[in-house]
Every structure is written in C-alpha cells, then in structure tokens.
Amino acid sequence: MNTTIKESVQKGKNSLGIELGSTRIKSVLIDETGAVLASGSYTWENQLQQGVWTYQLDDVWVGIQESYRNLCKSIREQYKIELTTVGVIGFSAMMHGYLAFDKNENQVAQFRTWRNTITGEAAEKLTDEFSFNIPQRWSIAHLYQAIINDEEHVKDIAFLTTLAGYVHWKLTGKRVLGIGDASGMFPINSSTNNYDADMMNCFNALISGQNFSWKLADILPEILGAGEKAGNLTDTGALLIDPTGRLMSGIPLCPPEGDAGTGMVATNSVAAGTGNISAGTSIFAMIVLEKSLSQVHEEIDMVTTPSGFPVAMVHCNNCSSDIDAWAQVLLESYEALGFKTSIGKVLDSIYFQALEGDADCGGLLSYNYLSGETITNMNEGRPLFARMPDAKFTFANFARAQLYAAIATLKLGMNILTDEEKVHVTSLQGHGGYFKAKGVGQKLMAGALRVPVTVMETAGEGGPWGMALLALYMKYKAEDESLENFLNNHIFTSSNTTTVQPDKTDIKGFETYMELYVKGLDVEDSAIRNMR
C-alpha cells in the first residue's frame, strides 16, 4: 500500500465532497492534488406527490449516511484503515427549489424541487417587476407563488434555503450558502457579490400588503464566496453523517454549493469565456460571460460561478431519465427471454448502438419530457416516441433518437445565446452520465451544438469531485489566490482529456431531426392536455 495515501487518510490531508444529485448521493475523497482516493454512493429518487416533485428530508440523511458508509467501506478495503477524520468537507446539491422552516426549525411546507413547473404566474410577474429573468424553479418564484396561493405557512417562515444549504445548516448550525447556489435563489449583484438590493426592495414592496413579520433579507441564507470559511462540523453533525460515531467533529466546512457550480469547478470552467455542459437527470450549459446579455430572455438564467462571476445558464429539466426508463424495459425483455445481463450493459448497448444509427435517426422522434420544460413552454411532461410510417425503425436509430431527445431542448436554448446574443462559444467541457459511454454523448453533443466538446478523465466523478475541490481550495489556497488560478496551477496541470470536433454528417443529421422535433411539439402539447 502507498504510505503516502495512508498518511493522507489518517492525518486528514484530504478533502471530502458529498453531492446530493437527482438520482444519486455520492461521496468522493481526494488528496491534496485532487486525485480520487475513494468514493461511495447511494441511489434515491424523487416522488410526485399531490402534483409536486419532492423528496422526504429523512431520506436525505439516510442517503448521506449510506453514501459515506460505502466510502468508508472502500477505504477499509483498499487501504486497511478506518476513516475517522478528513481535512475539510464540502456539501453540494441540486440547485433552486423550496425548503422553508419556522423559528423552531420545523419544516413548514413540502420540499419543492427544481423539477417543478408550478410557479408560472409568480415567475412571470417577478421577471416583469425585476426586468430580470426569474425561472420557475428558482426559490424566489416558489416563495412568491406560495404567497399568491395564500398558503398558510408563509407567515411562519424564518429560514428559506436550498438542499445544500439545509444540509450544511444541520451539520454546522450556520445559515449560509455559496454564492453560486444563492444565485439560483434570488438574483445576485456581481459588483457586490450579494443579493441584488434593488430587486430585494422591489420584492418587499410587492408583498408589503401581506404584513408578514419578516423581510426577504431576514429569511435568506448569508452569502459566502469560494474559499471563505463556513463553520465546523458539530458533534451532532458528525453523527448525522456517521451514526457509528467514528467521524470526529470539528472538521472545517467550505460554503455549500449548487450542482451547477460544482460542475463548473469539475470541468475547470470558472474563468470568463469558458463553458461546460452537465448532463444527467437534467441537462444544463453554463457559459461564463465576458459581458452582460443585451436583453432578458426567459430561456436563459443568469447565475454566478462559485467566485461570483456572471454566468448564462441554459437549463432543461429532462435529460437521461427517459433513456434509463427504456433501458429498464429492455432489461426486462432480455430477462423474459432467459438471458442474464445488467442495466449498465443495457445502457452501454443503447449508447454505442446510437453511433451505428442514421445521422437523422431515420424518421424516428422522441420527447423525453418526464416533467415540464419551460424552454418549450410545457408545464407538464408526457414522454413520447413517434415514427413516420416509412421510417427506418432499427434499434440503432431508436437508440440515437433517445440520445438526441436528451439534448434537443438544450439546443433550442443555446440557439438564443449564439444566434441572438452572439455569444461566441469556442468549446465546451462535458461531464455527467450522458458522457460516460466513451466518445458517444461527446460526439453527438459536438454535432448538435456545432462546437468541440472536451471530456476529462474525471468526468464520471462530476459534481462531488468538484465540491471536494472547492473544499480543498478553502484549505490550501494561497493568500489572495483566485479559484481559477488554484485550479489551473494545482489541479488541472496534467489532466487527461479527449476532445471531439463536430462532424459534418452529425451536424446535418441533427438539424433534420430538430426540424421534425420542433414541428412535433404540438403533439407533445396535445398529449399534456389530453392524457390525464
């Protein structure tokens, strides 16, 4: 066994990042150079309850504990030692949503995740009032919609936060949030790196007739930038992560962040002019801007990097969930025929066979809308698959249609940035499950967006690795060293990457697919209205 690794683990010369994603809670332990020492994960899933996509908060802690337990098991098996402490910890999670608590720290409303499209009236009103796009999934939209709906709990709110902010609060007692995650709750003024004061005053005036005991500033988390100290793990917090009691308290924590920010860090896309695509349950592209957009676009979010730089975000609610659903059906069909295989192998067959399909999918069309999509004005989702009567109905074309569907809505949003705003995107870094099958999602994405797509060797680690890097930055950065310089000088000096250039055949094929896709949106809309 490498004695350096053993020392890193035993003496806490490392960093732990834990991210609560849509379908998986993953823990990643890295050393001082960013190299992964071990990981652990736990699978979970949201539920649609009374028309609301949600998770139970008890499941949050079950998932964190199981993910951490599996990490410790990996450490034990690899290095024959027990993990009792780490140098620094960082938590990240799905951005946006609505987690509200009263003065006694009781949850006062159902957790409403980013996936919900139930705040259309509030989002439209706030966008108009602020002259700034407020998407439906943002926390402020959920809050204002609850006010519009006269929900009883609103008057009792003492703290409103995101999932990462909630976890950090329970572990440290600190009601704080990293600026990237905070930028998905309420608009940020990048010159002050705080909530936009004018918009906050506007909101308070908008609800003044309600006579609530709180003002907006009273209930939002305090904002911290990357590298700032965000508290220490309490005795109670240590037991929430590790009920065995082995994990020591007192470990410093960095500011909690959103999955968009960790994706930017994991792909070294935090400097102006860089960009990345995170593709998993949802899919979003993040472009760090050199100048502000010329106008407000309802399809484009304005958020920030973990350091506070403005970012244009194209976010789509649906990406890989429908692919996973089809994979499960195929797995069951194989098993019914008496064959033994795994869901991983089935997914690989879908991805790799997609490369054998016609560039335009041969007349097959798929909509992966498990939930609504604001970019195409769909308030709900109805997954659909259709084909022309003379279509080339092969498995390869079917597979390619599923992978195209996963990125089609993103393409519509990116067109606004490139065609209308003239944002020049020279390349994009990809990470997430869509890029796991080597070269497949990368090739199709490059053709769809007409830009080179680079994938790092660490792409599969994704957000939790990015969160561990943010924690590492807080502990080991030099005085006044920026996050960009820290990543460039200490982490990505010799990273293994592969870059795929757009293929002309793929570009033309995807354009043909998108022509049919746009025409077929009326079918999706009709399905939503009539399939009930």
Lowest-confidence segment of 95-109, 326-340, 400-414, 446-460 by average pLDDT = 446-460
What rounded mean pLDDT belongs to the chain? 94
The alpha-helical segments, DSSP class H, found in 149-241 are: 163-172, 179-182, 197-206, 216-219, 235-241
Cβ-in-10-Å burial (0-12, 13-18, 19+) of 296 comes to middle
Q: Kindly report the pTM of this predicted structure.
A: 0.83
Cβ-in-10-Å burial (0-12, 13-18, 19+) of 339 comes to exposed
Tens digit of each residue's pLDDT (9 = 90 or more) over 108-160: 999 999 989 899 999 999 999 999 999 999 999 999 999 999 999 999 999 99
Residue 290: band (very low, low, confident or very high) from pLDDT cuts 50, 70, 90: confident
Residues 428-443: what's their mean pLDDT? 91
Dmax (CA) for the chain in angstroms is 67
CA separation for the pair 88, 90 (Å, rounded): 7
- Confidence check: pLDDT of 460 > 70: no
- Confidence check: pLDDT of 494 > 90: no
For residue 1, the model assigns a pLDDT of 38
Residues 454-481: what's their mean pLDDT? 86
Cβ-in-10-Å burial (0-12, 13-18, 19+) of 99 comes to buried
Tens digit of each residue's pLDDT (9 = 90 or more) over 345-398: 999 999 999 999 999 999 999 999 999 998 999 989 999 999 999 999 999 999
Residue 9: band (very low, low, confident or very high) from pLDDT cuts 50, 70, 90: confident
Residue 30: band (very low, low, confident or very high) from pLDDT cuts 50, 70, 90: very high
For residue 173, the model assigns a pLDDT of 98
